[in-house]
Amino acid sequence: MNNELLRVEELKVWFDIKKGLFSRPLYVKAVDGVNFALNIGESVSLVGESGSGKTTLGKTILRLYRPTSGKIIFDGKDISNSDSKDMKWYRRETGLVQQDPFGALPPHFNIYRILEEPLIIHNIGNRSERRDMIYRALEEVKLTPVEDFAPKYPHMLSGGQMQRVVIARALIMRPKLVVADEPVSMLDASVRVEILELLKSMQDRHKTSLIYITHDLATVRMFTHWIFIMYAGEIVERALTKELLANPLHPYTNALLNAIPDPDPENRNVLKEVPPGEPPDLVNPPIGCRFAPRCSQSKDICFKERPPELEIRDKHWVKCWLYS
Amino acid sequence: MENSDLLKVQNFSLSYRTRKGDVEAVNNISFDLKKGETLAIVGESGCGKSSLARGLIRLFPRNIKKVEGKILLDGKDVLFLDEETFRREIRWREISMVFQGAMNSLNPVLKVVFQVAEPLMVHFGMDKESAFKRAKEVLGLVGISSAFAERYPFELSGGMKQRVVIAMALITNPKLVLLDEPTSALDIITQENIMNLLKMLKKELNLTYIFITHDIALTSELADRMAVMYAGEIVEISPVEDFYKNPSHVYTRLLLDSVPTLRGDKSLKSIPGSPPSLIDPPSGCRFHPRCPLVMDICKVKEPPSYKIKEGHFAKCYLNEGR
Amino acid sequence: MKGQEIISEYSFKGILKEVLSYKAGVSALVILAFFGVLIIYTVISLPYNETIALWNSSTAFLKNPRNAEPVWWSIFTKKKKPRNIELNIDINGSDLIQEGGIFRGEVRKDFVYNYDDFPTEFNIFFKANYKRSSPIVRIYLVRPDGDKILLKEHTLRSQDDTLYLSNDFSLENKLDTHVRSKVSEPIDFSITTTRALFMKYSSRLEVLKGDYSLILEAELENKEDSLTADVVFYGSVYGIAGTDHLRRPIHIALLWGAPLDLSFGLGASLSITIIQLIIATISGWFGGLTDSLIQRFTEIYMVLPFLPIMIMISLFYKLNLWSLLVVVILLSVFGFGIKTTRALVLQVKTLPYIESAQAYGASSWRIIFLYIIPKILPPVVPGLVASVPVYVFLEAVLSLFGVLDPTQPTWGRVIEDAFSNGALYKGYFYWVLIPSFLLILTAISFSLLGFVLDRIVNPKLREL
C-alpha cells in the first residue's frame, strides 16, 4: 500500500488565452480532470494525439506548469502549489527527457559540463566525486570511451548520441520519477529501439518510476507496466498494458489501435475504418463525452453528460457511457 | 500502352557543394515506374530520399554541383530540358509534388480555393472563374466541402490543410505525384484518414505515386513496390510482397526488424551505428561499417545489383550465386 | 579521434579560423592589426600624461612652423618646400677672447638652403647665463653671393630672450632699403625679412639657393658667462601629419587618438551591448510586470533626443572622454537593442534545454546568465563589433559640437580644431583629411569584421 510514489487527483491545467477584464475569459483546457496513481518503480505510457494534453500533464507533474486546480502528491507531499524555492528537493527527485534531442542540450556547454550542471545546482559531491558520477553516467548510456565524449559539444554528436546524453542527465541524480516526452519521435527508426531499450534498462536498474509520453502505441507494447489513453485533456482509459491491448474498451482506444499500420502488403488494397474528423477545440470542448462527435457508437447521453470513470475490470478504468 | 513505363530513371546522380566538401546526395540511381503503380522509397533521414524527389522535379538547391543521368518521362528525357520548357510543360503539369510540411507553408493571407486554383491560372492560363470551379471540384474530391474552400488556412485543422496540399498537387491532372512524407506532422488517426484518401484517389484517378517516407509500416498502406535507400543509393528494390517475405539486402532485413508492431511477438532490434556522411562515404558497400554480416569484399568493392527475380534487385554480395 | 583537438565553434581559435577564410575578414584584421601596432607604439613611446601635458603647453612647440603641411606631401607637388632649419649656437668660456674689459665670442654656422620657397618665419631663442650685465649679440647672415648683412645688434633683455626677427619692422625696413639698393629695376612685391634674406637680388621673386652662413658675435662681461642661441628658419612642412595653428605636430594627437577613440568606441559598444543584453534577458525571461516596465521605459528612452541632451549635460558639467563614456552609456542602455535582443530571448526561452534546466532546478539567474546570454551572445557580437565605429563617430560629432574637454587629443578634437580655424577655407586639407581617413578606416575595419562575424554566426547568409 505504501508503495505509492505519485498520486494525481482531479488535476486541471487551463491556459488563459484571453484575459477577461470586461468579457468572459477564454481558457484552453489542456488537462481537465485527471486522476491516477503510480507506484515506485512502475512505468506508464501516456498515449494520445497531439493536443490531447499528454505533454501538458507530464510537465505539470514535473511542476514546470502550475496546475489550475487539483492535487499532485509526490511521496506523500502535496507539491501542486509549492513555490519554486520550496521545490528544490523535488527537482532532485524528478527528471525530464525531452522530445527534441537537438534542442535539449545547451549548445555552448560541452557534454561534461552539461552533466555537471544538475550536480552543481544541487551541491552534490566535490569535483572528483562529480567526475566519477559523470563518467559512470556516460558509461551507463554507452557513450564510450567516456574521455572522448566528455569534452565534445552537442553539435558534434548524432541525434541518438544526444538523446543518450539527455537520458544520462535526467538520471544522474538518481531521481525517483522520470518523465520522458516522446523521447524517440525525432530519431531514425534504426536508433529508436536502442534508445527505448536504454531507457527501460536504466529504469529497471535504478527502480525509477517512468512516465513515457507518446503518440505511438506501437512502441509501448513491450515497454511499460501501464497504458493511459488520453483524449482531449482527459484520460479516457487506463489499464495494465497487456489488459488494455487485449481488451480495449473505449471506442477511441479501439480506433487508435486500428489506425496503427501493420507492415502487411495487403493494407494497400483495403480502406481502413477510422473515425472521421479531428480532436475538438479545447477552448470549447463538447459538453458531454469529448469523443462523442467522432464516435460511431455514441448515444444521446454521450452528448449531454461527461461519463464517469469506472473500474470495469480489475485495474481497468474507462470513461465511457457504453459501460455504465 | 497499358503496362508501359511512365517513368524511367537511369544512373541519376546529384551532388551539392558545401563549405565542408561535396555531398553526394544521390548516387547512380536507376529505377522505373509503370503507370498506376506506387513506388515507396524508404530510408533513414539524410539518406538522400528527399534530394531524389526534388531532383525528379528539378528543384535543385543553389549549391548544386553535378547532375547526371537520365530521367525519361513517357520516353522523353526531361532532365536536361531547358528550364523554361520544363517549368511550363513538365513541372506540375506532368509531375507534381506534396512537399514535406507543406501544410505549414500555405500562404496565410490567401483563401484556400485560390491557392489550389493558382496552378491552373499560371500553367493553363485558365480564367479565374473556371479555375475556381475546378479547384472546388478537386477540393471536394479530397474531402473539403465548398464552405471550407472559401476559408483561410488558419481556419482549417492540420488534416484539412494536408488535404488542401494534396488537392494542389492533383489540380493539374499530373501523371506522376511525388509524396514527400505527406503525413509526417499528423496524428495517427488523421494520418490514416489521409492514407485512405490517397488510396482512394489512386484507384479513382489511376494515379502514379512516388511515396517517400521513413515510416516503413506506413508504406504498406500504399506501395506496390519498395525501394530502400541508404547513403544516397537504392540498395534494394522489390515488389512489396518480396520486401516483407524475401528481403535480400542485410540493411532491408535490419530495417524491418526495427519496425515496432502492435500485433505479433517479434523482438525489436536496432541497427548499430549511424548513417555515414555523404561527403566522404565508405568504400565498397556503403553499409559495410554497420553490417553484422560484413565480408572482406564488401569493404573494397562496390557490390553490383543482383537480380533476385523479375523486378527485384539488391546490391548485396550475399546474393552472389543464389 | 584521440589527440585531435576539439575546436568548439565558440572558441577563439575556431572563430579566427573562420574569419580568415573570408577576404573581408582578412582585410579587417589587417587594418585592426595596423591600429594595434599604432596603439602599442603610441602607448610605449609617448607616455600619456607627459603627452597630454606637452599637447596643452603653450611653449613646447615654439620652434615648430605654424600650419605646416605633412613632409610627404611635397612628393606630389613640384615645389620643394622648406623644412625647418635649426642652428644651435653655443658660446662659452673656451671660445672667448678677452678684449679690453669684455669677453668676445664669435661662432659661424654654415647651412645649405636648397628649397624652392622662402622660410615662413625666422626667430632666435637665446639662453644666457650672466652675473651682472647681459650680453650683447650681433647677428650676421652671409649669403651665397657674398653679401654679408648685419641683421641685428641686440642686448639681451633677460636670461631667456627671443628675437622674433621675421616680425621685426625695423629690420624689415632696413632690409627693404638694402635690397632696393642692390636691384636697379623696380620691385613690385613686398619684401619681407625672410624674402630679403633668401632672394636673388632681382626684380623677380626667386630663392637664392646655395651655402649660407650665420654668424653670431657676442660680448660677455665675464669669462664664466655663457650664451646659447637657437636660430630657427621655419619651414612650411613638418612631420608626417603637419602642424596646427598652435604649431603642435598633429601626428601626436592622431597617435593618441587611436587608443583614446578605439577604447571609447569599444568601451561604449561593449558596455552598452552587454548591459542591454542583461536588461533584455531579464525583461524577456521574467515577463509580466518586469517586462512591461522595462519595455515602457525603453520606449520612453528611445524618443528622448540624444544629442541635445548630451549638449545640455556638457553645459553643466565639464566632460572629459571618460565621463562622456559614462554619460553615453547611461543615455544608451535602454536603446533599441533591448527590443531586438528581447525578441531573441523570447525565442531562446522556449528552447527545450531551458525547460530541462528548470526541470533540474536551475534558478532564474542561473538560466539568465549561463543558459540564455551565452546562447544569444553570438548573434549579438557582430552588431557589437559593427557598432564600435558608431561610438567613435559619436565622439567625433560631440567634439565638433565642442561638447568635450578640449585637452584630450582625439581624432574628433583634431577635426574640430581644424574646422574652428577654417582649415578647409585656408587650404589646410591634411588637418581634416588625415583624421577623417583614420575614422573611415576604423569604420571600414569594424564593419567588415562585423559583417564577417555575422556571416559566421548566421549560417543562412553563408551560402551567399
> H or E segment at A200?
helix A189-206
Strands B38-42 and B64-73 turn out to be: unpaired
> Residue B321: helix, strand or coil by DSSP?
coil
Q: What is the pTM of this model?
A: 0.80
* Cβ-Cβ contacts under 8 Å, B19 against chain C: 462
Contact A278 B220 (CB under 8 A): no
Give bridge partners of residue A29 from the DSSP assignment: A14
Place of cell 633677460: C158
Confidence of residue B158 (pLDDT cuts 50, 70, 90): confident
Residues 6+ apart with CB under 8 A from C48: C256
Q: What is the mean pLDDT of residues C87-105?
A: 84
The grid coordinates listed for A112 are 561534461
Instruction: Name the residue in chain C with its Cα closest to that of A99.
Output: C352
Concatenate the DSSP letters of all residues of A58-74 into one string: HHHHTTSS--SEEEEEE
Dihedral over alpha carbons A241, A245, A250, A255 (to 10 degrees): 130
Least confident among A41-50, A154-163, B265-274, C389-398: B265-274
Residue C428 half-sphere exposure, CB side, CA atoms within 13 Å? 26
Q: Which of residues 259-278 of C touch B (CB under 8 A)?
A: none
Q: What is the mean pLDDT of residues C325-346?
A: 90
Average pLDDT of every residue of chain B: 88
pLDDT at site B265: 66
Average pLDDT of every residue of chain C: 88
The grid coordinates listed for C396 are 567625433
For B29-83, give the secondary structure using H, E and C. EEEEEECCCEEEEECCCCCCHHHHHHHHCCCCCCCEEEEEEEEEECCEECCCCCH
Contact A259 B216 (CB under 8 A): no
Instruction: Give, as one character, the DSSP assignment of residue A23.
Output: S
For A292-320, give the secondary structure using H, E and C. HHHCCCCCCHHHCCCCCEEEEECCEEEEC
For chain C, give the secondary structure using H, E and C. CCCCCCCCCCCHHHHHHHHHCCHHHHHHHHHHHHHHHHHHHHHHHCCHHHHHHHHHCCCCCCCCCCCCECHHHHHCCCCCCCCCEEEEEEECHHHCEEECCEEEEEEEEEEEECCCCCCCEEEEEEEEECCCCCCEEEEEEECCCCCEEEEEEEECCCCEEEEEHHHCHHHHHHHHHHHHHHCCCCCCCCCCHHHHHHECCCCCCCECCEEEEEEEEEEECCCCCEEEEEEEEECCECCCCCECCCCCEHHHHHHHHHHHHHHHHHHHHHHHHHHHHHHHHHHHHHCHHHHHHHHHHHHHHHHCCHHHHHHHHHHHCCECHHHHHHHHHHHHCCCHHHHHHHHHHHHHHCCHHHHHHHHCCCCHHHHHHHHHHHHHHHHHHHHHHHCHHHHHHHHHHHHHCCCECCCCCCHHHHHHHHHHCCHHHHCCHHHHHHHHHHHHHHHHHHHHHHHHHHHHHCHHHCCC
pLDDT at site C11: 67
Largest CA distance in chain C: 107
The grid coordinates listed for A238 are 487506463
Largest CA distance in chain B: 66
What percent helix, strand, coil does chain B show, rounded to 5?
35, 25, 40
- pLDDT per residue over C23-81, tens digit each? 999 999 999 999 999 999 999 998 888 888 888 888 889 899 999 999 888 888 888 89
Rounded Cα gap, residues A183 and B274, in angstroms:
18
* Cβ-Cβ contacts under 8 Å, B63 against chain C: 463
Rounded Cα gap, residues B226 and B308, in angstroms:
14
Rounded Cα gap, residues A90 and A157, in angstroms:
30
Concatenate the DSSP letters of all residues of A266-298 into one string: GGGGS------S-PPPSSS--SS-TTGGG-TT-
Q: In this complex, is the C-beta atom of B282 within 8 Å of any C-beta atom belonging to chain A?
A: no
Rounded Cα gap, residues C185 and C187, in angstroms:
6
Q: In this complex, is the C-beta atom of C17 within 8 Å of any C-beta atom belonging to chain B?
A: no
Chain B: partners with 3+ C-beta pairs within 8 Å: A, C
Q: Does C7 score more than 60 pLDDT? A: no
Give bridge partners of residue B31 from the DSSP assignment: B9
Number of H helices, E strands in chain A: 9, 12
For residue A22, the distance in angstroms to the closest alpha carbon of chain B comes to 26
**Which has more confidence, C95 or C68?**
C68
Alpha-carbon distances of B84 from B92, B119, C116, rounded to whole Å: 13, 16, 72
Among A223, A212, A242, A225, smallest CA distance to A39 is for A225
Rounded Cα gap, residues B266 and B257, in angstroms:
8
Q: Percentage of residues in chain A with pLDDT exceeding 90?
A: 52
What single-letter amino acid sits at B4? S
Confidence of residue C9 (pLDDT cuts 50, 70, 90): low
Dihedral over alpha carbons A253, A189, A50, B104 (to 10 degrees): -140
Concatenate the DSSP letters of all residues of B94-117 into one string: TEEEE-TTGGGGS-TTS-HHHHHH
Q: In this complex, is the C-beta atom of C34 within 8 Å of any C-beta atom belonging to chain A?
A: no
Q: Does C10 score more than 60 pLDDT? A: no
Q: What is the mean pLDDT of residues B193-209?
A: 90
pLDDT at site C99: 81
- pLDDT per residue over B212-269, tens digit each? 998 888 888 899 999 999 999 999 999 999 999 899 999 999 988 888 777 766 677 8
Confidence of residue C3 (pLDDT cuts 50, 70, 90): very low
Place of cell 554619460: C327
- Residue B11's region, left for phi above 0, alpha for psi from -120 to 50, else beta, is left
Q: What is the mean pLDDT of residues C257-274?
A: 93
Among B76, B91, B89, smallest CA distance to B7 is for B76
Of A160, A221, A275, Cβ closest to residue B262? A221
Contact A221 B260 (CB under 8 A): yes
Give the other-Cβ count within 10 Å of C17's Cβ: 12
Rounded Cα gap, residues C360 and C276, in angstroms:
28
Place of cell 619651414: C235
Confidence of residue C462 (pLDDT cuts 50, 70, 90): very low
Confidence of residue C4 (pLDDT cuts 50, 70, 90): very low
> Residue A103: helix, strand or coil by DSSP?
coil
Q: Does C423 score more than 60 pLDDT? A: yes
Q: What is the mean pLDDT of residues C410-436?
A: 89
Rounded Cα gap, residues C229 and C226, in angstroms:
10
Sheet with strand C136-142: strands edge to edge: C97-99, C102-113, C210-220, C136-142, C148-155
pLDDT at site B1: 40
Q: Percentage of residues in chain A with pLDDT exceeding 70?
A: 98
Of A95, A110, A148, Cβ closest to residue C1? A148
> Which of B19, B63, B64 best probes binding to C when mutated, by most C CB atoms within 10 angstroms?
B19
pLDDT at site C134: 87
Among C231, C213, C62, C61, smallest CA distance to C137 is for C231
Rounded Cα gap, residues C325 and C391, in angstroms:
9
Rounded Cα gap, residues C168 and C197, in angstroms:
13
Phi, psi of B15 (to 5 degrees): -140, 150
> Residue B255: helix, strand or coil by DSSP?
helix
Rounded Cα gap, residues A114 and A108, in angstroms:
9
Instruction: Name the residue in chain A with its Cα closest to that of C10.
Output: A108
Q: What is the ipTM of this complex?
A: 0.89
**Which has more confidence, B239 or B125?**
B239
Confidence of residue C337 (pLDDT cuts 50, 70, 90): confident
Of A91, A107, A148, Cβ closest to residue C361? A91
> Residue A85: helix, strand or coil by DSSP?
helix
pLDDT at site B3: 53
Q: Find out whether the peptide bond into A145 is cis, omega within 30 degrees of 0.
A: yes
Rounded Cα gap, residues C123 and C154, in angstroms:
13
Q: Does B281 score more than 80 pLDDT? A: yes
Confidence of residue B274 (pLDDT cuts 50, 70, 90): confident
Residues 6+ apart with CB under 8 A from B257: B266, B268, B269
Q: Percentage of residues in chain C with pLDDT exceeding 90?
A: 50
Q: How many Cβ pairs closer than 8 A exist between chain A and B?
A: 127
Rounded Cα gap, residues B154 and B108, in angstroms:
7
- pLDDT per residue over C231-251, tens digit each? 999 999 998 899 998 899 999
Q: What is the mean pLDDT of residues A302-320?
A: 91
Instruction: Give, as one character, the DSSP assignment of residue A217.
Output: G
- pLDDT per residue over C155-212, tens digit each? 999 989 999 998 999 999 999 999 999 888 888 888 999 999 999 998 889 999 999 9
Rounded Cα gap, residues B183 and B189, in angstroms:
11
Among C18, C233, A210, smallest CA distance to B19 is for C18
Instruction: Name the residue in chain C with its Cα closest to that of B64.
Output: C463
Give bridge partners of residue C102 from the DSSP assignment: C99
Of A92, A103, A156, Cβ closest to residue C351? A103
The grid coordinates listed for C401 are 559640437
Residue C231 half-sphere exposure, CB side, CA atoms within 13 Å? 21
Rounded Cα gap, residues C15 and A233, in angstroms:
48
Phi, psi of C234 (to 5 degrees): -75, 135
Confidence of residue A26 (pLDDT cuts 50, 70, 90): confident
